[in-house]
A and B are shown apart, each in its own frame.
Chain A
Amino acid sequence: MTSLPTHTEKKLGLAIDLDTCVGCQACVTACKGWNDQGYGAPLSDQDPYGAAPSGAFLNRVHSYEITPPEGAAVIVNFPRSCLHCDDAPCVPVCPTGASYKRMEDGIVLVNEDACIGCGLCAWACPYGAREMDADVGVMKKCTLCVDRIYNDHLPEEDRVPACVRTCPTGARHFGDFADPDSHVSKLTAARGGYDLMPDLGTRPTNKYLPQRRKDSPDMSAPLAPLLDIQATGFAGWLDKVLGKI
């Protein structure tokens, strides 16, 4: 049913650290690879060796440039995937019930067997989290690797989304935001994690951790010369410096 649950037991999601993401795209292809063979239909690619290759990806990393009024411009790498919103606008619009938010953990999923491929959920999502698979005509989206995180066939430490497991810098953190003591909740609190487009009322689960302060070295305490070399000459410097041993 496409009504949203009034409450979910857990709120599983990601905290994405924009101060750590180097934009390597590892999460993008790990996600593609996992979901190509995992939940639902493969993530097909059209014209893969042609002029305009185009396939379904559930996670894409943007790159933005911020130019402050003073100082150097900054590049930010910005991964974008489903935020598993509390008030997910993609769910109630679904005419078939294919799109739903799980009561137990808050994951927003598409039941591909019920999806008619109308695309309305993708229209309703402000974050571009959903992509229609051109091969099978169903809507694809981040499943938070629901087929990994509860999978007894994987070692416990691997029961995290593929993007989190592969992230070389550890910029992606997975956990339960409903638990204030979870790693992701604490990280979000400590780093001022924020929501994307909060005014749309979607109440995203995923949080973004902002960049730290840039380009502000302490220039107030430069090294003091041992002595005035011009005045004392090189020998004076040598005596002074070696006197320290």
Chain B
Amino acid sequence: MASLANFSTISSSSAAHLSSIRNSSSNSFLLTKSSPNSIKLLSTPRQCFNHRRLVLKAKANSVIDAPTTSSIDGVSDSPKVLLEVKDLTAKIADSGSQILKGVNLVIYEGEIHAIMGKNGSGKSTFSKVLVGHPDYEVTGGTVVFKGENLLDMEPEERSLAGLFMSFQSPVEIPGVSNNDFLRMAYNARRKKLDLPELGPLEFYDYISRRLKIVNMDTNFLNRNVNEGFSGGEKKRNEILQLAVLGADLAILDEIDSGLDVDALQDVGEAVNELLTPQKSVLMVTHYQRLLDIIKPKFVHIMEDGKIVKTALMALRVNPQWHPD
């Protein structure tokens, strides 16, 4: 299997990861190919994942042999499929040009996936299609998210269902303060859960605590959404939204683009901070450096609208996949 073969590609950065895997006494994954380009994980030791080191700290007592044993963290032991994408095809609504040509992907609860690929391979389109961007039209295939047909849902319903995408270039919204925006979004969540909406003061309490995660001060709230923000501030603001709204699956579309090393570190750590054993992440990136901070379990390579390769774990991606 091509994906497993990549294990042997050892680089300095992945060596440590591999060694920690080897140290696990029963680091057992069973991988089968459910469809030509996707990997289905039948059983995972997710309950052992530490949220900071999701991939690497799989421990022995889990669990291919005894899938029904009680979990260490009290999490249900049977792995749940969070997102299942089958043969997804999509085109640009205006021009009609086909971008996605049959994407297959399965993400289980608690997994971190990364999609890499050259410019124009369809990575960002895939993210946008998942959140229902009106510029794209799905022409075939299915997407099931938490057991429901995602493609039937409006963008706001997808969000309320637990799907979050951080935008590659978040739009500026003059006239809407960050605080009002976040409160609106947060209250939409609460409304969905039949909880009373938070007034400005209660929300301020809540948001202040969240701000610390992304290392921002409260001035940030008074500014208009993304207006005049630097590249780094925009990305932080995306992660702040993730922190406020929470998500079962966070799609991070090139969260690393335009960031310097320190900012990247900050953003990456903020994401790690937010991860829990149930939360999943799908990263779209060009760069290895992000994978060094938020460590994925799977890396998918996208090419011409399809996922052509999937590698398990901390591989060093071949230089040919670096587009720049």
**A pairs with B:** no
Which positions in A face B, CB cutoff 8 Å? none
Binding site for A on B (CB under 8 A): none
